[in-house]
Structure 1
Amino acid sequence: MSEQLVEEIVERARARLDALEHTVESLQALEVSAQSPDGRVVARVDGSGALVGLHLAEPIRGADVRELAATILATVHEAARAAAADRVARMDRLRDALH
């Protein structure tokens, strides 16, 4: 095996490792926010879709509890959906880099 061929193989391996490391770091740092249509709720989720922040606009006093709960759930769901889409896009880019 020629020295040039070995260098090419090593360089391809390094490039793939760099792409993998970048993807892992970006997935660990991923956070997505969503806001309810009425602006009363902002939900923030991490890359796995777990809720990491919830902001309720003032005043919520006097709000219908069931309606508010539904709005919170819908907003968290939207943020989790966006996080999942972002994860898929990042994994697609990694797959492309590995080929």
Structure 2
Amino acid sequence: MILRLDRIATELPPPSEPDPEGARAVQELLGGKFGEMSTLMNYTMQSFNFRNRSVARPFYDLVANIAAEEFGHIELVAMTINNMLTGASPTDDGKAPSASL
């Protein structure tokens, strides 16, 4: 189970100006092949399918705790992307993101 608090775990400083290209690069960290989303799903499914939890409890706890930590990583990466896009406009010269990675 994941406990949700209505605040972010780490306060992120706002950027001095929008950076859509940087946000595009960070988005790969969120949803890329080895990004936070796939890591969350991998560890979550491993914790759901863990057999003999009572016998190997420390190992189950480790996998389940990593899954919960990945959930927090996703929130931080998504907040970073949102902060980098705040104030950006698709019509700004050179400030609109180009094609995806």
TM over 0.5, shorter chain? no
Give the structure with the higher percent helix: 1
Give the structure with the higher percent strand: 1
Report which of the two structures shows the higher radius of gyration computed on alpha carbons. 1
TM-score normalised by structure 2 residue count: 0.41
Structure of greater relative contact order (alpha carbons < 8 Å, 6+ residues apart): 2
